[in-house]
């Protein structure tokens, strides 16, 4: 019987949450931070979807042959782990520029708005791209 192996690397941003896994519309289970799980599934074509809170992945269609091991990776946004530290550094820079260097207040608001737009773009438009096949060999 084929084996589906699902890996989830460890990320600090979503460490407390588990991704729910759906195969062909039925909930298969969930995967926690840093976990690797295995499921025996029927050979053939399958549809995998995942979700965590209100984020849902794209639909991944895959085929698995009898006695095949297929490895899929469930991962967050590509640079998601960098967003919060980057944002905090920018807030610190904002504080320093505003209080010690006296940069124009509207310039700082413009930079802050641009940073906010970049973060929202990463969260909203890249959110579905966190299931991918791992090439074996």
Mean pLDDT value across the chain? 79
Distance of CA 121 to the CA centre of its chain: 14
Indicate whether 70 and 9 sit together in one domain: yes
**Residues 43 and 8 both lie in one domain:** yes
Burial 80-89 (b: 16+ CB within 10 A, else e): bbebeeeeee
pLDDT of residue 130: 61
88 and 72 co-located in one domain? no
Number of domains the chain is built from? 2
Residue 60 — very low, low, confident or very high, per pLDDT cuts 50/70/90? confident
- 1-19 per-position pLDDT tens digit: 899 999 988 877 677 888 8
Query: Which residues constitute the domain of residue 52?
Result: 3-77+128-134
Q: What is the pLDDT of residues 41-59, one digit of tens each?
A: 999 999 988 887 777 777 8
Query: Do 50 and 13 share a structural domain?
Result: yes
């Amino acid at each position: 019987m084929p084996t589906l192996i699902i890996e989830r690397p460890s990320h600090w941003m979503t460490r407390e949450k588990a991704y729910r896994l759906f195969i062909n519309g039925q909930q298969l289970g969930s995967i926690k931070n840093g976990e690797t799980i295995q499921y025996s599934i029927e050979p053939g074509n399958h549809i995998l979807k995942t979700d965590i809170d209100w984020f849902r992945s794209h639909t991944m269609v895959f085929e698995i042959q009898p006695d095949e091991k297929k490895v899929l990776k469930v991962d967050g946004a590509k640079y998601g782990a960098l967003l919060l530290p980057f944002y905090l550094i920018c807030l610190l820079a904002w504080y320093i520029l505003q209080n010690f260097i006296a940069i124009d207040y509207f310039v700082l608001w413009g930079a802050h708005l641009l940073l906010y737009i970049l973060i929202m773009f990463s969260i909203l438009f890249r959110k579905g791209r966190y299931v991918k096949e791992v090439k074996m060999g």
